[in-house]
Structure 1
């Protein structure tokens, strides 16, 4: 799997910038799903979070530009995953949040919907 980041060198994110990104509900929910499932397509995230494609793409672009997620293109589809070069504190924060919020709403429902979205869309967006 070849992953291309938004720029040659991923930006170094500060704790304040990272927390600002997490402060938006759509970005937080998308990041927690990426933390749970690894790589996801925009169409899967859109369906799971019940938001429009333009809204999802706009939030993912913010995360990509900050160096929090990286992309892989497969035909017309763009797949996102958490950037492996994130600082350890940021990776640990996401892992902790994903574990602690898994049974809380709306995150629990997001997890159920992402399973259905993957089953429905995965063959089309490879």
Structure 2
């Protein structure tokens, strides 16, 4: 599958409800829940969450694996395994340049995760809890 053919989570909704219904706007379909669970599972490990953060926050939008590995007290094969999990979840992509592999965030996936977890604007205004969980 080429990069142009990559299917982003929820982009092809059959019911026409848009790409990113939130948890509060409609019950989630089984297939959608299974897709999202794979992505959240990939984020459920502290090492993978740190790796994703390091990749996403890098100036220039990409980082060499040679800069990721020293930040952890883990072997190179273990870091590669975690990166593979993030890539399979559609959170990152990579490109080999000579002997090194460079990783970059795929923001469409993280944007969709954020959209799924977001409250619809009407619910946000009616909520008895204000910003940062403080009562309004």
| Alignment: residue pair count | 89
Contiguous gaps of at least 5 residues in structure 1: 94-126
Contact 1:41–1:77 under 8 Å retained in 2 = yes
* 1:16-27 superposed matches below 5 A: 16-27=37-48
Q: How far 1:17 moved relative to its partner?
A: 2.2
Contact 1:31–1:82 under 8 Å retained in 2 = yes
Cα pair distance change 1:87/1:56, threshold 3 Å: closer
Contiguous gaps of at least 5 residues in structure 2: 11-34, 117-136
Task: Determine whether 1:77 maps to 2:74.
Answer: no
CA–CA separation in structure 1 for the residues paired with 2:112 and 2:9: 12
Q: Secondary structure at the match of 1:71?
A: strand
TM-score of the two chains, using structure 1 as the length reference: 0.59
Q: Which has the larger radius of gyration?
A: 2
Could you list the per-position Cα deviations for residues 84-112 of structure 1 after superposition, in whole angstroms to 9, with x for gaps in the alignment?
3325243689xxxxxxxxxxxxxxxxxxx
Greater relative CO (CA pairs within 8 A, separation 6+): 1
> What RMSD over aligned residues (CA atoms) do the two structures have, in Å?
2.7
Contact 1:41–1:80 under 8 Å retained in 2 = yes
Of 76, 79, 84, the residue aligned with 1:56 is 79
Q: Secondary structure at the match of 1:31?
A: helix
Q: Secondary structure at the match of 1:12?
A: coil
TM-score of the two chains, using structure 2 as the length reference: 0.55
Cα pair distance change 1:70/1:52, threshold 3 Å: same
